[in-house]
Amino acid sequence: MRLVYFAWVRERIGLAEETVDVPDTVVTAGDLIRWLAGRGDTYAHAFEAAAQIRVAVDQEHVPQDAPLGRPREVALFPPMTGG
Amino acid sequence: MGAAIDVRVQADDFDVGAEIARLHEGRTDVGAVASFVGLCRDEGGTLAALELEHYPGMAEAEIRRVAEEALARWPVLTAITAVHRHGRIPPGGRIVLVAAASAHRTAAFEAAEFLMDFLKTRAPFWKKEHRADGSEGAWVAAKDTDDEKAGRWR
In this prediction, residue B135 has a pLDDT band, given cuts at 50, 70 and 90, of: confident
The predicted pLDDT at position B126 comes to 98
Q: Where are the beta strands (DSSP E) in chain A?
A: 2-5, 17-19, 54-57, 60-62, 73-77
> Bridge partners of B13?
none
User: Quick check: B58 and A6 CB within 8 A?
Assistant: no
Taking the Cβ of residue B153 and every Cβ of chain A, the question of whether any pair is shorter than 8 Å is answered with no
Length of chain A (residues): 83
Taking the CA atoms of chain A, what radius of gyration do you get in angstroms?
12
A83:B123 CB<8 A: yes
CB B135 within 8 A of CB B96: no
**Which residues of chain A have a CB within 8 Å of the CB of B62?**
59, 61
Q: Is residue A83 part of a domain?
A: no
Query: Residue A37 falls within a domain, yes or no?
Result: yes
Q: Is A82 part of any domain?
A: no
Indicate the residue of A4, A59, A83 with minimum beta-carbon distance to B38. A83
Say what the pLDDT of residue A48 is: 97
Query: Residue A58 maps to which CATH number?
Result: 3.10.20.30
For residues A31-53, give the mean pLDDT: 97
The count of domains in chain A is 1
Eight-state DSSP code of residue A28 = B
Contact present, B12 and B22 (Cβ < 8 Å)? no
* ipTM metric: 0.96
Please, where are the H alpha helices in B2-154?
Answer: 16-24, 58-73, 105-122, 144-151
pTM, whole model, 2 decimals?
A: 0.95
What is the crossing angle of helices B105-122 and B144-151, to 10°? 140
Task: Give B 107-136 residues with CB within 8 A of chain A.
Answer: 116, 119-128
Where do the domains of chain B lie?
Answer: 4-147
Q: Which domain holds residue A69?
A: 2-77
Does the residue A70 lie in any domain?
yes
- Number of separate helices (H) and strands (E) present in chain B: 4, 7
**What does chain B come to in residues?**
154
Instruction: Tell which CATH classification among 3.40.50.2000, 3.90.1170.40, 3.40.50.720, 3.30.300.30 matches the domain B4-147.
Output: 3.90.1170.40
Q: Do B124 and A83 touch (CB under 8 A)?
A: no
